Each structure stands twice: as C-alpha cells, then as structure tokens.
A = this chain, B = another copy of it.
C-alpha cells in the first residue's frame, strides 16, 4: 500500500475524509490536488482519471481507480481499529455512513458550498438558504441525540463513521452558518476527534 495516489479537492469535505483516514492510518501517498475551478480538474475529467466524475479518487498501485469517499474509507480501514470487527457494530457504522451520504451531505455540505464557492452563489437564494438552515438543524439534532451519552457513532471507539461525519460537521458553523452552540454533544465530539493522535486539519493538505 505504498503506491497510493489520491486525487482530492483540497477544500472539499469528501476529499478531506480520505486525507484524514490516511493520516490516522499513517499511510504515505502521493497527493494530486484539484480544485473545482482549475484547468487541472477539467483535464483529469477529459483524461478519464475520475471514475463517476467525482472527487476524491484513490488510485492503487496497479492503476485501479477507486471512487466514492466512504467506500475508500472502508477499503483503507479494513483490518485496522477504524473498521469495527463486530458485525453489528460494523453495520451500524455503515448505516451512519449511508445516512451521511443520503441525508447529511446534501444539506450540511451544500449550504456551506453555496456560501463558499462564487460559482454557486446564484443558487443561494434567501428561500433556499433558509430551507437548508432549518433542515440542517434537524440533521444536527439527530446527531446530537445519538451522541448524548455516547463518545463515538458506532461502538466504543472512533471508526470510519466518525471520519465520514466529521468531514462536513466540524465546519458546519463556520462555513455553513449553522448554530452549533445548540449542539453541545456534537461540539464535544468534534473536540474529541481533533484531539486524536494523528489528526490533521482540512487545510493541512500534502504538497
């Protein structure tokens, strides 16, 4: 596993998930950063480097290109403490990861993106932003309820589910404008995640 190349979008939470996972696992990799607005991204699309047309993509030593951030997390974490061994705990971790992709990302990440990327500003109508704010607070309330009395999302240790949910949640206040002081259990979990040995921040992008 020394021949890994990660195509990632430095500012994107889905890409950050994989960089954070690789850091925790202590795996070395070559990093190719492609921001949304660069020619390099268009070139990579044209060259067929990006299966399914999305970042991140992990390219293995034999050239196999693996897409889908949460699937990459599972691939990398298999056999480590980050992938629960107990079948039920593993299914619960996967459940939160499917929920993240189906319910959480389309609200929490999308509101932040509408505020962050100039190319999407025209979509940020007051009605849409208000709708996303209310929906996001509902999403965060669900996480808050689960974390009340629990340290981690699945089982008694941090797992791939925590990595998947951390990526966009840790910046939901600063980038998405969500009222995070309403969610003390989430705030405590974010602090626990950031204090783990091996943690890297979103902007600690490899050269």
Contacts and interface: CB of A to CB of B under 8 A. Distances in A.
Interface of A: 52-53, 60, 64, 66-72, 74-75, 78, 87-88, 90-92, 94-99, 101-102, 105-106, 142
A67 B88 CA distance: 11
Contacts of A52: 95, 99, 142
Given A52-B142, A87-B78, A98 B64 contact: no
Closest 5 CB pairs of A and B: A71-B95, A75-B91, A68-B95, A101-B102, A71-B94
A67 B87 contact: no
Main secondary structure of the interface of A (DSSP, over half): helix
B98 A97 contact: yes
Given A74-B91, A142-B52, A99 B68 contact: yes
A94 B106 contact: no
24 contacts: A52-B99, A52-B142, A53-B142, A66-B88, A66-B91, A67-B95, A67-B99, A68-B94, A68-B95, A68-B96, A68-B98, A70-B98, A71-B91, A71-B92, A71-B94, A75-B90, A94-B94, A98-B98, A98-B101, A101-B101, A102-B102, A102-B105, A102-B106, A106-B106
Contacts of A87: 75, 78
A102 B53 CA distance: 13
A22 to B, nearest CB: 15
A6 to B, nearest CB: 14
Contacts of A90: 74-75, 78
